Structure 1
């Protein structure tokens, strides 16, 4: 598998509308671009929880063309801490009707262009700057960590 091959693992068909389903793909950690700073204590706790479960349960949601993390910055850092080579993700685009972005503090709509500009400049947003909402609800996975270490 190369970085850009879709390797679909599962699809959630939560509604009768096929456009609402999410595909889950496996991507190497190098594909992902962190978008916000993280709380490292939270990363360590999350890594411990994932390791004790032995399975990856929640895919990282990522902008499909540039790898910008929409939801899952802490999970990416936990995957690094666990020595995983790849993780499951949901590839979406800003502008997709299933995605809404709000300012974490004000609840106001967040300017999407600002996300691309900030990441292109090599900067990260502060912890809890953006809040992404997905409708319908995102699917879960149950992929053994051993599979992700050898991916």
Structure 2
């Protein structure tokens, strides 16, 4: 896993988001003025693994780039369906992102068995930096 700054158009969502949750997140982030939680993405395909609300928030705030944790998805993360009657694979998630057919709202759960850290990047920097 490595931390990078990614341009928004490169990121491909795999799930849909909740408008209510997005509004709550906007209030929190706008009040703090910092981006603290990187979006999780696959390093090869740039599909979003975790952070769909943050991706939509970045679009709403007109950010140019966002911090992302890049993972070797199949090697570094485990994936589970939140629906106990369904099995989901890494390939299912990758297909959802590449084909632009989201899996739905909160359909997957991912686990990483390493250390995750927060970032404290001012929103103003993410608006104006064009990597």
Q: If the length of structure 2 is used for normalisation, what is the TM-score?
A: 0.91
Residue 126 (1) aligns with residue 108 (2): no
Residue 93 (1) aligns with residue 93 (2): no
What is the aligned-residue RMSD (CA, Å)?
1.6
Write out the 4+ residue segments of structure 1 that deviate beyond 2 Å after TM superposition: 107-110, 116-122
* Residues 23-34 of structure 1 aligned to structure 2 (within 5 Å): 23-34=2-13
Contact 1:103 1:110 in 2 (8 A): yes
2:19 counterpart residue number: 40
The match for 1:54 among 29, 33, 36 is 33
What is the count of residue pairs matched by the alignment? 129
Q: Which has the higher contact order (CA 8 A, sep 6+)?
A: 2
CA positional deviation for 1:56: 0.4
d(CA) in 2 for partners of 1:47, 1:139: 21
d(CA) in 2 for partners of 1:129, 1:141: 26
d(CA) in 2 for partners of 1:47, 1:107: 33
Contact 1:47 1:79 in 2 (8 A): no
1:139 counterpart residue number: 117
For residues 58-106 of structure 1, give each alpha carbon's deviation from its aligned partner in whole angstroms, at most 9, with x where no partner exists: 000001111100110010001111111110001112222x311100121
Residue 102 (1) aligns with residue 80 (2): yes
User: What 5-or-longer segments of structure 1 have no aligned partner?
Assistant: 1-21
2:58 counterpart residue number: 79
For residues 34-61 of structure 1, give each alpha carbon's deviation from its aligned partner in whole angstroms, at most 9, with x where no partner exists: 1101101111110111111000000000
Contact 2:14 2:100 in 1 (8 A): no
More helix, by proportion? 2
CA positional deviation for 1:109: 5.6
